[in-house]
A and B are shown apart, each in its own frame.
Chain A
């Protein structure tokens, strides 16, 4: 870690614990997160949302101290000029359409009508939602709701973006667009903190990864090396939905990076286990181009990250 980066440039957790009555949310978390994309990864119930809510002050720590670029979340009037948060909660103020939703939020910030209008459309454009802006948010699809929440998080140009499962529900194309938006923002010096319960979904795009399990942070930092090692023992799984799965399976199985290619029960897709996800994706592109396959979706299928934790923490991953 560089000594030049000060507290004012980092998101810092010092020995933070949060209990919901008797229930453990997170325990003794210490983190120091630099700018760039940070992936916060853990299975359901591991404490990702709790950690993010603590970060932005929707929850108060039972113990410990949190500082976001030196700011105190208990002074929202200052804090939320610099922080944007897209929550996991999928509820919206009733009766508003996409642009009204963003505009009202900016007006609550105190921006004037004209300024809020311009910022609204800029944000909607960045997430590719201008066309649906006039429709009621309540009628949006899951992917559109994710995007309008993202627009809300970025519309006031914050320095810290906290995004709870922002890729959940996005199709592969939207996912790629959103990921490149994260990259762009992070390259501009922002903190982009993204949670996911799928390690393979975020470790490729993250500059650093925080792994959380049972309320404890079990690993933190650049895990590229860990991942390489891990793939030896725990191959990545990729699910591909396409028109000619048998052809795809036979082509990719010939490659030595692929350990297994199994056709889905409904005959409309292939599940591939691979030691090298990067190489596999290149291979997939090649096969698709050569054979003119029609791909519906490509998604990591490692929903069960427990395997990863077992590897990382050398236990069965039970809460202690």
Chain B
């Protein structure tokens, strides 16, 4: 630094020493702690969403006398969970959580008129948006990861342990759970990035959310080329137990797991980068809201 304002001016404390990476990490950490503290103090809606599959699986346990036909056959539990996961958790809850959490990361700060506190700090705005995104991923994956695991376990509870134990520990059970967790994680990452970025182009998250929901819902009817332009296409292909899509579905080759995982991660990086580019140009103008 040559003769700049810093050297001329009064005692400005030196920035914490070290590589920018270390400072960025500590700044991102500070943003995440602050966001957790003020943004997710009472996440009632999220908790209810995450509790719903657990409640449904519990009801099945309680009424297992009627709900479960063959206690010795774990396939029934596997099938039940596959339906519940893909329809309820993946298509509905993770999608809604993405809208609610990521669509509001920046928007809520604008509505609360608090965004300027971040904009008045010596933090790169790209870093700010990335830190907020990571907070969202952390919160949603923690809640829905736990929900995924508990409801998975509950799905097998009505079945005989003599059948469940070999399925879990010597069969595909734990690997299936791992796959479901991976899908939950990638859904948080993917839908999160989509709704974070859309938030910079739409005033209210409801409009793009409805459009996106429609698009993702008719996914199974889309021709193969268009299928590739939906998030659910990749997430669904990673689910360990397929569920039938009905007679109207247009069949197409499922992408390979690597394509799905890497593709979703790359998509997320691109969308967070787009958000960073948008937030750099953002002005504080609370008045319209």
Contacts and interface: CB of A to CB of B under 8 A. Distances in A.
B125 A76 contact: yes
Interface stretch (A80-88, A202-210, A309-317): A80-88
Contacts of A80: 120-122
Given A76-B121, A108-B27, A111-B16, A8 B38 contact: no
A30 interface: no
Contacts of B281: 60
A134 interface: no
Per DSSP, chain A at the interface is loop
Interface in B268-287: 280-281, 283-286
Contacts, number: 134
A69 B123 contact: no
A153 to B, nearest CB: 9
Nearest to A81: B122
6 contacts: A20-B285, A58-B284, A70-B4, A80-B120, A84-B120, A89-B286
Interface in A104-155: 104-105, 107-112, 115, 119, 152
B5 interface: yes
A257 interface: no
A108 B12 contact: no
Given A58-B119, A93-B114, A81 B10 contact: no
Nearest to B11: A157
Contact of A85 (B3, B10, B120): B120
Interface of B: 3-6, 8-13, 15-16, 23, 26-27, 29-31, 33-34, 37-38, 41, 112-114, 116-125, 280-281, 283-286
A199 interface: no
A68 B8 CA distance: 13
B121 A189 contact: no
Contacts of B15: 81, 110
B116 A89 contact: yes
A9 interface: yes
Interface in A272-317: none
Contact of B122 (A109, A119, A152): A109
Contacts of A119: 13
A115 B285 CA distance: 33
A156 B11 CA distance: 9
A102 B223 CA distance: 55
A78 interface: yes
Given A9-B8, A96-B37, A107 B120 contact: no
B105 to A, nearest CB: 14
Given A58-B120, A108-B30, 15 more contacts: A8-B4, A8-B5, A9-B8, A58-B283, A59-B285, A60-B283, A78-B122, A82-B9, A92-B114, A93-B114, A107-B26, A110-B26, A112-B16, A115-B13, A157-B12
Interface in A38-59: 53, 56-59
B38 A82 contact: no
Contacts of A169: none
Given A70-B4, A71-B5, A82 B12 contact: yes
Interface of A: 8-9, 20, 53, 56-60, 68-71, 74, 76-82, 84-85, 87, 89, 91-96, 104-105, 107-112, 115, 119, 152, 156-159, 188-190
B31 to A, nearest CB: 6
Contact of A53 (B12, B37, B284): B284
A65 B29 CA distance: 34
Contacts of A87: 116, 120
B121 A105 contact: yes
A59 B283 contact: yes
B123 A76 contact: yes
Q: Which 7 A-B pairs have the closest CB atoms?
A: A159-B9, A69-B5, A107-B30, A91-B113, A80-B122, A58-B284, A108-B121
Contacts of A69: 4-5, 8-9
A93 B117 contact: yes
A70 B5 contact: yes
Nearest to A156: B13
Contacts of B16: 110-112, 115
B6 A82 contact: yes
Contact of A8 (B3, B27, B33): B3
Nearest to A90: B113
Contact of A107 (B33, B284, B285): B33
Contacts of B286: 89
A104 B30 contact: yes
B135 to A, nearest CB: 13
B37 to A, nearest CB: 6
A157 B16 CA distance: 15
Contacts of B33: 104, 107
